[in-house]
Amino acid sequence: MHFQARGGFVAPGTEDFFLPTKLGFTSFESKAIYLAFFSVLLIGLFFYFSSRKAKVMPSKLQFAGESVYAFVRRDLGEDLIGHEFLRFVPFLFTLFTFVLVNNIFGIIPLIQFPTMSHVSFPYVLAIFSFVVFHYIGIRRQGLGKYLKGICFMPGVPVALYILLTPIELATYFVVRPVTLALRLFANMFAGHLLLLVFILGGDYLLHGGIVAKIASPFSFTFAIVMTFFELLVQVLQAYIFTLLTALYIAGALADEH
């Protein structure tokens, strides 16, 4: 509990995001790593059972699985990428479901930890997106044409290339992957920290004096309200991460940037 030796409240901090396991197989183990593996198992089982006995009139489980796939296929694939979208749907679908489940872990009882609040996970996912859309662009246009399209935007006065070329290079090769990762990480980190403040604060007040005990339900109420708000943020961040990846792929497929 977040109490000081003198009985004061200690606000949660970054140390609450580094939760080692008790298995002790390696020094690199953490709750986040096991949750990432667990999410893969959970996603696989869900879509296996939702599709193994597919019917024309779908069951509730089948309908749920098909709705998630249809959403990614239509809204994040076809609408953004265009007629070549089908070959990218598996990647986008995997990306969306993986981020979504690991985000939602932050409000699941007994788990209550968003995997993406560890910055290494968003960075790895951003690197995957980074490699995919650059590979697509290079394969589609050739390395020379692809880099030329990035460095020398058409219709721009030659003198401005001195300023724009470094900016474009930094945008495509540094800013995009970094901001893609940090946006997801920052939202999950801040949201989880905020929930910890209200939950632990309410628990601390509950063990205090009469006035503190009276105030504690308000803290718990805010925690409940913030949990629903955090759910919205978790879903939205999974959507935004996949949306931006799809937009980057669509840009790589275009003849000109």
Answer whether residue 198 is part of any domain: yes
Q: What is the pLDDT of residue 20?
A: 65
Tokens at 194, concatenated: 């905020």
Residue 248: give the domain boundaries.
Answer: 2-6+20-253
Answer whether residue 12 is part of any domain: no
Q: What is the pLDDT of residue 9?
A: 65
Answer whether residue 234 is part of any domain: yes
Q: What is the pLDDT of residue 5?
A: 41
User: What gap in Å lies between CA 143 and CA 127, rounded to an integer?
Assistant: 19
Determine if residue 243 is left, alpha or beta; phi over 0 gives left, psi from -120 to 50 gives alpha, anything else beta: alpha
Chain position carrying tokens 């790895």:
124
Answer whether residue 232 is part of any domain: yes
- Decide: 186 and 180 in contact? Cβ < 8 Å: no
- Decide: 203 and 33 in contact? Cβ < 8 Å: no
User: What gap in Å lies between CA 152 and CA 141, rounded to an integer?
Assistant: 15
Q: What is the pLDDT of residue 83?
A: 86
- Render each residue's pLDDT in the chain as its tens digit; 257 residues: 454 444 566 666 666 666 666 665 665 677 888 899 999 999 999 999 988 877 777 788 888 999 999 999 999 999 999 888 999 999 999 999 999 999 999 999 888 899 999 899 999 999 999 999 999 999 988 888 888 888 887 777 888 888 888 888 998 899 999 999 999 999 999 988 888 888 887 777 777 778 777 778 888 888 889 889 999 999 999 999 999 999 999 988 875 54
Q: What is the pLDDT of residue 115?
A: 92
User: What gap in Å lies between CA 198 and CA 181, rounded to an integer?
Assistant: 26
Within 52-170, residue ranges assigned H as helices are 60-71, 79-81, 89-104, 120-141, 143-151, 161-170
pTM equals 0.87
Domain count, the chain: 1
User: What gap in Å lies between CA 256 and CA 154, rounded to an integer?
Assistant: 8
Answer whether residue 206 is part of any domain: yes
Q: What is the pLDDT of residue 257?
A: 46
Answer whether residue 205 is part of any domain: yes
Answer whether residue 15 is part of any domain: no
